[in-house]
Amino acid sequence: MSKTEYRVEPAPRRGTKTKGLKTSEERFAAALTAKLNEMAEEGWDYLRADTLPCEERSGIAGRSTTYHSVLVFSRPRTDARAESPAALAAPEASPPAALPAAAASDESKSGD
């Protein structure tokens, strides 16, 4: 069982306006840097960027292929429950709720 989890996020499509940045390359680099830093704060390590095809509907019966750029991140799993195949198959059971003392005494009187 893998002890690594992955996350795929869409890559920025446009640069962000930032004071002092004039070219589109600088603005795009700033947007990408912000995304990478945001993910790093959550514990994700950047792996790579990919451009992948995606078949989409076009019109009533047509299909067209578009390409999407994504960023791939990974991090070690921290949830021990997620590592166990048995734990993945069975949902976690919650303990039964306790009855208030007054309701419990009412039930015992009605059963007599």
Query: pLDDT tens across 55-90, in order?
Result: 998 888 889 999 999 999 999 988 755 555 554 554
Are 53 and 66 a contacting pair, CB within 8 Å?
A: yes
pTM of the predicted protein model: 0.63
Mean per-residue pLDDT of the chain: 79
Question: Any idea where the domains of the chain sit in the sequence?
Answer: 1-77
Closest to 51 in 3D by CA, of 65, 32, 68, 73: 68
Q: Per-residue DSSP letters for 85-112?
A: HHHHHSPPPPPPPPPPHHHHHHHHHHT-
The CA dihedral of 1, 48, 70, 40, to the nearest 10 degrees, is 80
